[in-house]
Amino acid sequence: MNTNKIITAGVIAAALVVGQVAGRLMQQPLGASLAPAAAATLNVPTAAELSSRFSEVSDAVDRAVVNINTETVVRHRFRLPRRGGEGGRQFQDPFDFFNRFFGGELPPSRSQKRESLGSGFVVDSKGYILTNHHVVNGADEIRVELASGEEFPAKVVGSDSYTDLAVIEIDAGKTLEAARLGNSEGMRRGDWVLAIGSPFGLERTVTAGIISATARRGRSHWQRFLQTDAAINRGNSGGPLVNLAGEVIGVATAILSASGDNSGIGFAVPSNTAIRVYNQLVKHGRVTRGALGISMQNEASSQALKALGAVDGKGVIVQQVRPQDGPADRAGLQPGDVIVGLKGRKIGEPADLYPLLSETAPGETVEVEYLRDGKKRTARLTVGDRSEVFAEEPVAQSGPGQGSDSRKLGLRVQGLSPQWKRHLGAGAEGVLVLQVEPGSVADDAGLRSGDVLLELNRTAVAGPARLAKLAGQLQPGTDVLFLVKRGQPATGEAVTLYLAATLP
């Protein structure tokens, strides 16, 4: 009897244990593990930690950042009004600038110093500094101030207007601390960056932001910018844009702003572009770029491309093969061909060609894929040096709709369209001014975009090629006389103006 009681108690106890275990299992959600595996703890950085990282990066890079002060001597002619004065009295100005061009004596001149401030950063401990072309362009004197407060004169090693980059050199008599350059291709939208420089002359200023966009197009075909909302202002130009690894991934270059001050949209030349340009400038003093030897149609509709055999409406139309016996001519390309590939990469528009050509060394043989009569073909082409391929005709092929540069004058122009010629009258010749470079001789003279340039130094300007030839003959210190036609918005009429300045 006792044995039966013991057995009965054991069964009851076992049932209770089983019931407890079953109850616990029923309380768990389906699929839950009885013994979950240990997981790594996720840590969210606090604001204080991020702030600390900003401080560490700025401290590490700051010693390589420099202030760049430039001084330019600008020479002006005295110019007095030909008519005027109290009571309507008229007089002839004895120092009339234009007497020079009509047989008179050369009037006296006055000089004025123009100072400007920019930034830069040491990239080689021997004293090589990377900055913007526009910071040092045309400067008569350049002085660099280090983080230590020491100041040294600098000389320009090389400069490239297409990418707005320049290399200058100082002799500090000691080894300098250089910034580390990173790979800009690794930057993505949303990545944190710091901008370091001297906005408005406020030395060693650090601002923070993110990468807003990559591969943003600039004014030059050769420019692709990193866009950032880190505050960039006047004086930041040439300073570094730095990632949180303490690497320079861009060179602050420009802002988009109606007022000229920061509006949350700044642009920096990617470090990968800066590295390529720097290496060529220190080795050759200039940048060489590849050329296919063609004029391309910069704006082509998908309908036109499809009509030429590009079923997807993409590609680059060869407008003209030039010069004769140039790279494209030797490779057999013809006007009307549609380039759809270069070096194994797809080409959908002209903007796709320029980065590839900037990376391609003259003399390199590449494969060009193109369409002709709807059929895909391949040609092997030996890339030429752009400065040599187009040396004899820098703007000769420019017509209506195609802008051309006359850098010595600071002008970007294009040939007159039939509509413009009809508006100006029978036999009209000249070029339409698209852009005037600030601080250039054309800017000093008072030219504006929208002007029609008729004559240069009393010689007719029949087109962009003629202007380039005339400008190429000008020497520093030459007096330059422009004859322009300018529309008057108030009256709708056009007036003819003589404008003049002296070539630096």
Verify whether residue 444 is a known catalytic residue. no
- Cα–Cα distance for residue pair 348/340, rounded to 1 Å: 6
Query: Strands (DSSP E) along 200-350, which ranges?
Result: 205-217, 224-228, 240-242, 247-255, 266-270, 290-291, 294-296, 316-321, 338-342, 345-346
395 and 464 Cβ atoms separated by less than 8 Å: yes
Q: How many CB atoms lie within 10 A of CB 312?
A: 10
Only one residue has tokens 């407060």, namely: 149
> Which pair of tokens denotes residue 307?
């009509």
Q: How far apart are the first and last CA of the chain?
A: 125
3-state secondary structure at position 426: coil
447 and 453 Cβ atoms separated by less than 8 Å: yes
Residue 207 makes CB contacts below 8 A (sequence gap 6+) with 194, 195, 230, 231, 232
- Which one of 164, 229, 444, 479 is the catalytic residue? 164
288 and 301 Cβ atoms separated by less than 8 Å: no
SS3 breakdown of the chain: % helix, strand, coil, rounded to 5? 25, 35, 40
3-state secondary structure at position 188: coil
Amino acid at 215: A
Verify whether residue 237 is a known catalytic residue. yes
272 and 184 Cβ atoms separated by less than 8 Å: yes
187 and 211 Cβ atoms separated by less than 8 Å: yes
- Which one of 198, 237, 358, 406 is the catalytic residue? 237
Angle, alpha carbons 396-399-400 (nearest 5°): 160
For residue 89, what are the CA distances in angstroms to 35, 81, 85, 98, 496? 105, 12, 5, 21, 25
Amino acid at 193: V
Closest-CA residue to 265 (of 228, 235, 239, 236): 228
- 23: buried, middle or exposed (CB in 10 Å: 19+, 13-18, 0-12)? exposed
- Which one of 96, 133, 134, 406 is the catalytic residue? 134
Verify whether residue 164 is a known catalytic residue. yes
Residues carrying an active site annotation = 134, 164, 237
